Amino acid sequence: MTRRVTVVSLLTALIAAMLAPHASAAPQYRNYVSLGDSFVSGPFIPLQRLDPLSCFKSTQNYPSVLAKRLGIANFTDISCGGAQTKDMAGVQSGIPGQSVPQFSALKPDTDLVTVSIGGNDIGFSDIILTCAGKSVLDPHGAPCKANYGDSLAQRVGATAAKVAAVLAGIKQRSPKAKIVVVGYLRILPSSGGCWPIVPISKGDVPYLDNVQKQLNGMLGAQAKAAGATFVNPYDISSGRDTCAAPWDKWVEGIIPTSLAFPVHPNANGMAAVGKQVAAALAGTELTGV
C-alpha cells in the first residue's frame, strides 16, 4: 500500500511539474528604457506615437518588439529621430526633438537599456543627400568618395569618445542595468548598387558600405570596452538593403515602397532587430529570421 501511494505521489508531482509554468517564462527584466535616434524610433512606421509626435516613434519599432517579446510591462521609449550623442544628456530642441534629455528616463531601478546612437554624429542624412546629388552626373564613378575621402572614417573615429561617454552616463544613472548597444541595419549592398532607384554611384556603394561597417565596428568596440553587449543587425541583413526587392528589404530606399521614412528601417526591419536583440539577451545567436 505504501509503495503504491509513493508511486502515485511521484506521478502526480511529475504531471504537476510538466503542467506548471516554467520559471524561465517569467520576464527577466522589469524596467526597460530605450535610447537612440531614428533607427530606433521608426519614423513613419505606423502607428506613430504622440509622446511627443515630434520624435516620430512607432509602436512597431524594435524596442516595442523587444518589450513585447520579453513581456516587459514597464517600458519607456525615449528615442527620437535626429538624436545625436549630445542629446542623451542635453535637450534636443526643434523638430525632430523633445523637451527633456533622453537620460531623464534612466532610473536607479532600470535593469535593461538599449541604445543606438552615432549615425547623426557623423552626418548620416547630409552624407546621403550629398552623395545622391553627386551621383546624377557620374552614376558609374565614385564622386562621393572623391568628395569625402578619409574624412568620414575620421568622423567615425571622433564619435567613439562620445559613444563612450554615453555608455558611462547610462552606467552612472542605472548602475544595475544590462546595457545593449545596437548597431545599424545594412543600408547598401557591398557592391554594384541600384542606381537610379537608389541614386548612389556604382563606385560609391562599396565606399559608403565600408563607412557603415566602420561605424558599427566602432560601436562594437565601445560596447566591449564598457562591458556592454553589442548586437549588430548588419550581420543578419545581407540582401535586405535599400536595393532589395520590396518584399525583402528591411531598409527603405529614397522612394519608400512601404510605410517608413526614406533610407530608414521599415516594420520588417524593426521586427528583425527586435528578434535579434531578444536572442542576444537569451544567450543565443540569431542567424536568420
Per-residue pLDDT tens for 181-221? 999 999 999 999 999 999 999 999 999 999 999 999 999 99
Instruction: Evaluate whether residue 201 is within a structural domain.
Output: no
Instruction: Evaluate whether residue 195 is within a structural domain.
Output: no
Active-site annotation, residues: 38, 264
Instruction: Evaluate whether residue 108 is within a structural domain.
Output: yes
Instruction: Evaluate whether residue 236 is within a structural domain.
Output: yes
pLDDT(277) > 80: yes
Instruction: Evaluate whether residue 13 is within a structural domain.
Output: no
Strand boundaries in the chain, DSSP class E = 31-36, 74-77, 112-116, 178-182, 229-231
pLDDT(95) > 70: yes
Per cent of the chain over pLDDT 90 is 88
pLDDT(285) > 70: no
Instruction: Evaluate whether residue 268 is within a structural domain.
Output: yes
Which of 11-25, 154-168, 243-257 is the least confident region?
11-25
Average pLDDT of the residues in 107-133 = 97
pLDDT(266) > 80: yes
pLDDT(27) > 70: no
Model confidence at 286, pLDDT cuts 50, 70, 90, reads low
The count of domains in the chain is 1
Could you tell me which of 182, 167, 164, 154 has the C-alpha nearest to residue 278? 182
Which of 20-24, 76-80, 123-127, 278-282 is the least confident region?
20-24
Instruction: Evaluate whether residue 83 is within a structural domain.
Output: yes
- Which range of residues forms the domain containing residue 175? 26-119+151-183+214-282
pLDDT(9) > 60: no
Could you tell me which of 25, 81, 19 has the C-alpha nearest to residue 54? 81
- The CATH number that applies at residue 274 is 3.40.50.1110
Q: Is the CB of residue 39 less than 8 Å from the CB of residue 106?
A: no
Instruction: Evaluate whether residue 2 is within a structural domain.
Output: no
